Amino acid sequence: MNPIMETQAITMRFGGLVAVNEFSMKIGANDLIGLIGPNGAGKTTIFNMITGHYLPSEGKILFNGESISGKEPAVITQGGIARTFQNIRLFKDLSVLDNIRIAGHSRLSYGLASSIFRTKAFHEEENKLRAEAFELLKIMKLEHRVDSLAKNLPYGEQRRLEIARALATHPKLLLLDEPAAGMNPNETKELTGLIRWVRDHFKIAVLLIEHDMKLVMEVCESIYVVDHGELIAHGGPKDIQNNPKVIEAYLGTTEV
């Protein structure tokens, strides 16, 4: 099986600090993979390299067999990698519908002149986009919020909207950065189901950063563990749970 995304020994240095060191991973087209590690281990930095926000100091990132390092974040998203953010970055002052429609922007083809003169192409494409957005909001259980401003949504719905917005770019790989952060146990439980359902329904790969171990162990088929920028373990949930290196990373060294 060919992986949809592969990082080949990517390294990220900030000045003298090595945030991520020779990190390699492979994700298959329909995988649900977890990326865990203590705070400051370099997980979000890995995300930022994959999405093009950071240019890796060394190493290569392949998506569909093609190198994407050095490409603009927008181009990478258009190519099929979408993400959410650790600290929710919705378009706060815009409606839920607009948040979704913006994500569909690169799929529209009408030009500026069409927009100014309100041509037939404009109305056709806008109506289609609108219908798609409504459909997506429906399956994400946000249709009752269509006209609300994103900032007025309760926290759990904001997280869901961010996932919906990422899905609206029609990704093949979805990166979720701590989607359960700040959620109560009920919301987390719901989210667990949602993540799996999204993967199955849209037939995409999901890479997940999460601190909630219960969620990770329950939903991920394979887990990568990083600490101090290094990959320290990789395997199924059971292997990871019993891996002494992982336990050490989380609980600290037990040297005498």
Partner 1 sequence: MDYFLYLTQMCGIFIILAVGLNLINGMCGQFSLGHAGFWAIGAYTSAAFTVFVAPPLPGFIVLFIGCIIGFITAGIAGLIIGVPCLRLKGDYLAIATLGFGEIIRIVIMNMNSVGGPRGFTGIPQLSNLFWVYLWVVITIVVIANIVRGTHGRAIISIREDEIAAESMGINTFRYKTLAFCVGAGFAGVAGALFSHTTQFISPTNFTFMWSVIILLMIILGGMGSITGAVVGAIILTILPELLRFFGDTVSQWRMVIYSVILILLMMIRPTGLFGKHEFNPLKFLKLGGKS
Partner 2 sequence: MDSHVSYFFWDLLNYLINGLTQGSIYALVALGYTMVFGIIKLINFAHGEFFMIGAFIGYYCILSGMPFALAMPVAMIGSGIVAVIIERIVYRPIRHAGRIPALITALGISLFFQYAGQMIIGADPKAFPSSIENKTYQLGEVYFSTSQILIVTSSLILMLFLYWLVNFTKMGKAMRATSYNMKAAELMGIDTNKIISFTFFVGAAFAGAAGVLVGLHYGTVDPMMGMIPGLKAFVAAVLGGIGIIPGAVLGGLVLGVAENLVVGFWMATYRDAIAFTILIIILLFKPSGLLGVNRREKV
Which residues contact partner 2 (rule: CB under 8 A)? 44, 48, 53-54, 85
What is the nearest approach in angstroms of partner 2 to the Cβ of residue 166? 15
Residue of the chain from 18, 94, 213, 247 that contacts partner 1 (CB under 8 A) = 94
- One-character DSSP codes across 48-94: HHHTTSS--SEEEEEETTEE-TT--HHHHHHHTEEE--TT----TTS
CB closer to partner 1 out of 162 and 187 = 162
**Rounded Cα–Cα distance for residues 10 and 18 (Å):** 11
Answer with the entry of partner 2, partner 1, none that 127 interacts with (C-beta below 5 to 8 A by kind). Answer: none
89 lies in the site for partner 1, by CB under 8 A = yes
Instruction: Spell 173-192 as b/e; 16+ CB within 10 A means b.
Output: bbbbbbbbbebeeebbebbb
Provide the edge-to-edge strand list for the sheet that holds 66-67.
17-27, 5-14, 58-63, 66-67
The answer to whether 147 and 153 are in contact (CB under 8 A) is: no
Interacting residues with partner 1 between 117 and 146 (CB under 8 A) = 117-118, 122, 125-126, 129
181 lies in the site for partner 1, by CB under 8 A = no
Answer with the entry of partner 1, partner 2, none that 26 interacts with (C-beta below 5 to 8 A by kind). Answer: none
Amino acid at 198: V
Positions touching partner 1 (CB under 8 A) are: 51, 53, 72-75, 77-78, 82-83, 85, 89-95, 97-98, 101-106, 108, 110, 112, 114-118, 122, 125-126, 129, 147, 165, 169
